[in-house]
Amino acid sequence: MKCAALIAFGIAAVAQGQELGLMPMPKKIQMGEGLLPIDAGFSIETRGVEDARVTHAIERLQGRLSQATGIPLNFANRSGKPAALVVESQHAGAAVQKLGEDESYTLEISPTQARLTAPNALGILRGLETFLQLVHSSSNGFAAPALSISDSPRFPWRGLHMDVSRHFMPLDIVLRNLDAMAAVKLNVFHWHLSDDQGFRVESKRYPKLHERGSDGQYYTQDQIRQVVAYARDRGIRVVPEFDVPAHSAAWLAGYPELGSVPGPYQIERTWGILEPTMDPTKESTYTFLDNFIGEMAPLFPDDFFHIGGDEVNGKQWNTSAHIVAYKQREGLANNDALQAQFNRRMQAIVRKHGKRMEGWDEILNPDLQRNIVIQSWRGLKSLAEAARLGYSGLLSTP
């Protein structure tokens, strides 16, 4: 009976969330009686720990509510009456947003006042999005329903993967997607910045990466900083992906000496599992990648750094005489073993620069240290195997 009651409660909460037009649906909703009017006198009071993210979020709320309702909202309290919305953040958030940081909040709305409280700015950001979704037109204008919401995310990692390598996205489109992510409480922007079809970040250390690998379509380092700051302001972490050792034609267009077979190389105009692959037997390959990651790491303050690692078809490794000889000399049974060796070197490089390595499920190998993250794009089977071996895992869905 207890189980049945829990299921019934869950169904009721889902139904309430759907009726209210909330996405995602909060963890717990208790409906009240009446409506809180949204009119020209609507004001907001902030209490507790100050955080620029909260200030900016309230400014955005003002603009979005004004646009949605047509009411010229100011939010300044000039009447001396109690504020219509009281926002209170109890503690300072982390300077660099962390995986698992508290995003919970409570939202209490009565016909006279709404109160939003949270442990930190992240919870306030999430609660303001919920409040905005609750505003609707009524017979007497615009209003929010009286209710009580207690909410926290089910998953600490809720991401959007944007592949700007195969299809470049201008900066304004990237920022617009971050706005959309914030609206539905997604908190990780997985930015796929290199592939066979394009290398999309300015490198001052290795400028031929973007000069020859992008068709002129890339983000400057200042633009990268702008995106990271814009995302943080909305409670979103930015995890960069630079795909190695395969999907690397754009790398090799500028630096063919990294390739497993002699160049020249050019960025690819077709899709698929293509042949260009970095040479994992040369020490110079690791020196290059060490220097490159050392340049990129400060641009992306998040703890995680994605190395790709997917779809190594092995053709170049099998046709290169010196790579074949290397595998024999090192006692590597196949290309999977060679890639595992490459990934161990990459893990050390990523860790050296203060990051935690992440990669697609093809990098899964029991010889890798357990602090990496396996991201499965091939379904639950790979994710289950990663968990069985003791790795943290992410499930990507199309």
From 110, 129, 151, the end of a domain falls on 151
CATH classification of the domain holding 60: 3.30.379.10
CB contact set of 365 (below 8 Å; sequence gap of 6+): 336, 339, 340, 343
Q: Would you call 322 a catalytic residue per the annotation?
A: no
From 101, 132, 151, the end of a domain falls on 151
Is the same domain home to 218 and 121? no
Is the same domain home to 219 and 348? yes
Question: In 39-169, at which residue ranges do the beta strands (DSSP E only) sit?
Answer: 44-48, 85-89, 105-109, 114-118, 136-138, 141-151, 159-163
Taking each helix axis from N to C end, the angle separating 52-69 and 121-134, rounded to the nearest 10 degrees, works out to: 10
Three-state DSSP string of 212-248: HHCCCCCECHHHHHHHHHHHHHCCCEEEEEEEECCCC
Is the same domain home to 92 and 224? no
> According to the model, what pLDDT value does residue 142 have?
95
From 151, 175, 206, the end of a domain falls on 151
| Residue 299 belongs to domain spanning | 159-395
Is the same domain home to 298 and 165? yes
Quick one: which of 164, 223, 154, 163 has its CA closest to 186? 154
CATH classification of the domain holding 344: 3.20.20.80
Is the same domain home to 217 and 73? no
> According to the model, what pLDDT value does residue 50 have?
92
Q: At 281, list the tokens.
A: 């037997």
Q: Which of 190, 210, 247, 306 does the annotation list as catalytic? A: 247
Is the same domain home to 302 and 347? yes
Contact assessment for residue 293 and residue 229, using Cβ atoms and an 8 Å cutoff: no
Instruction: Identify the segments of the chain with pLDDT beneath 50.
Output: 1-14
Residue type, 123: G
Is the same domain home to 229 and 259? yes
Give how many domains the chain has, as a whole number. 2
Contact assessment for residue 185 and residue 158, using Cβ atoms and an 8 Å cutoff: yes
- What is the sign, positive or negative, of the torsion defined by CA atoms of 31, 34, 38, 41? negative
Contact assessment for residue 361 and residue 375, using Cβ atoms and an 8 Å cutoff: yes
How many residues in the chain? 398
Q: Which of 151, 195, 279, 302 does the annotation list as catalytic? A: 195
Q: Which of 88, 163, 310, 311 does the annotation list as catalytic? A: 311
Is the same domain home to 110 and 52? yes
> According to the model, what pLDDT value does residue 398 have?
60
Distances (CA, A) of 370 to 242, 355, 389, 392: 21, 14, 8, 8
Is the same domain home to 139 and 196? no
Is the same domain home to 251 and 319? yes
Q: At 236, list the tokens.
A: 């979103």
> According to the model, what pLDDT value does residue 10 have?
44
Is the same domain home to 93 and 191? no
Q: Would you call 195 a catalytic residue per the annotation?
A: yes
Q: Would you call 311 a catalytic residue per the annotation?
A: yes
> According to the model, what pLDDT value does residue 6 have?
41
Backbone angles phi, psi at 117, to 5 degrees: -125, 145
Structure-token match 């009240």, residue found? 32
Is the same domain home to 131 and 253? no
> According to the model, what pLDDT value does residue 18 have?
60
